[in-house]
Amino acid sequence: MDSSHPIQAPENRSDRVVIRGHTLLCLQGFRGEGYSENFIRNMAAIHDRLKSDPKTMVLVTDSPDHFCGACPHLKSGCTLRGQNFEQHIVAQDRLVLDLLGLTAGQAVTWEEILSCIGSRVRGEMLDNICGDCQWLALGFCKEGIDRLH
């Protein structure tokens, strides 16, 4: 990562939603919980938009996205588990994008993303993808992904 350019969440453009690779999977289990009230409101609004309009264009990325912009852990990247945690999240994003056959910077519809997840990911795979994510133990993401089949 180039430390001379601070990492920030992308501009909020109304014509598309920018989503990190790993968050594509997290959205399948979203049930109104998160890191702060602001984060939850933001995630719920984006989640509702995608659910109500599956033709919404999504720009997939391996860097901070529209969700991260409302997260209290966004400093110079994700600091959820320390200053260098962003590197771990980027690797996780790239793993998910590779698994889905997508590349950072690619624009696809939410509907296409759901189809990719449904055909390439099973809930049981999340243990290897998500590691020790605090949300994994709740089982919501696994259930959400398995519902896509």
- Kindly tell me if the per-residue pLDDT of 3 is higher than 50: no
Q: Where are the domains of the chain?
A: 16-143
pLDDT of residue 59: 97
Residue 103, helix vs strand vs coil: coil
Whether 8 shows a pLDDT value over 50: the answer reads no
SS3 139: coil
The reported pLDDT for the residue numbered 71 is 61
The pTM of the full predicted model, rounded to 2 decimals, is 0.84
Higher pLDDT, 75 or 135: 135
More reliable by pLDDT, 38 or 124? 124
